[in-house]
């Protein structure tokens, strides 16, 4: 379960995908398959969520990992490189960015 908290024991990654309404559902299918079949089984994976805007032109992916190195190892794997080539065909851009939690509000 993703938890937003101030701590050094998690790596948060937010990835944004710029796509088109015609490709949005297909891109969600590819991302869902990647999580179901591969990403969620990688060492250090905690949880993730996919978010789609109303216009179906942007997808935001929020994921948490135990360590920065866990995310990087998954991203550099042959399996994920092959999947990312397919994902790239359905979007104009996508960019994963690693974040540290700076503040939490409840």
User: Average pLDDT, stretch 86-102?
Assistant: 94
Say if 38 falls within a structural domain.
yes
Is the pTM of the predicted complex or chain greater than 0.85?
yes
β-strand partners of 24: none
In a domain, 4, yes or no: no
Count of the separate structural domains present in the chain: 1
Residue 8: is its pLDDT beyond 80?
no
Cβ atoms of residues 88 and 31 within 8 Å = no
**Domain-located, residue 71:** yes
What mean pLDDT is predicted for residues 54-59? 98
72, part of any domain: yes
Domain of residue 59 covers 11-99
At 1, the pLDDT band (50, 70, 90 cuts) reads low
Residue 62 has pLDDT above 70, yes or no: yes
- Tell me if 55 is assigned to some domain: yes
Does a structural domain hold residue 3? no
Contact at 8 Å (CB) between 12 and 102?
no
**Straight-line distance from the first to the last Cα atom of the chain, in angstroms, rounded to the nearest whole number:** 17
Q: Please report whether residue 105 resides in a domain.
A: no
Averaged over 25-46, what is the pLDDT?
98
In-domain check, residue 106: no
């Amino acid at each position: 379960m993703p938890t937003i908290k101030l701590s050094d024991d998690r790596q948060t990654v937010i990835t944004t995908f710029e796509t088109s309404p015609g490709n949005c559902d297909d891109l969600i299918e590819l991302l869902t398959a990647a999580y179901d079949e591969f990403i969620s089984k990688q060492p250090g994976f905690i949880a993730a969520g996919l978010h789609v805007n109303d216009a179906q032109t942007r997808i935001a992916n929020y994921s948490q990992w135990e360590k920065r190195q866990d995310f990087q190892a998954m991203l550099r794997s042959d399996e994920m490189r092959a999947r990312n080539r397919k994902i790239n065909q359905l979007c104009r851009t996508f960019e994963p960015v690693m974040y540290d939690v700076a503040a939490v509000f409840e």
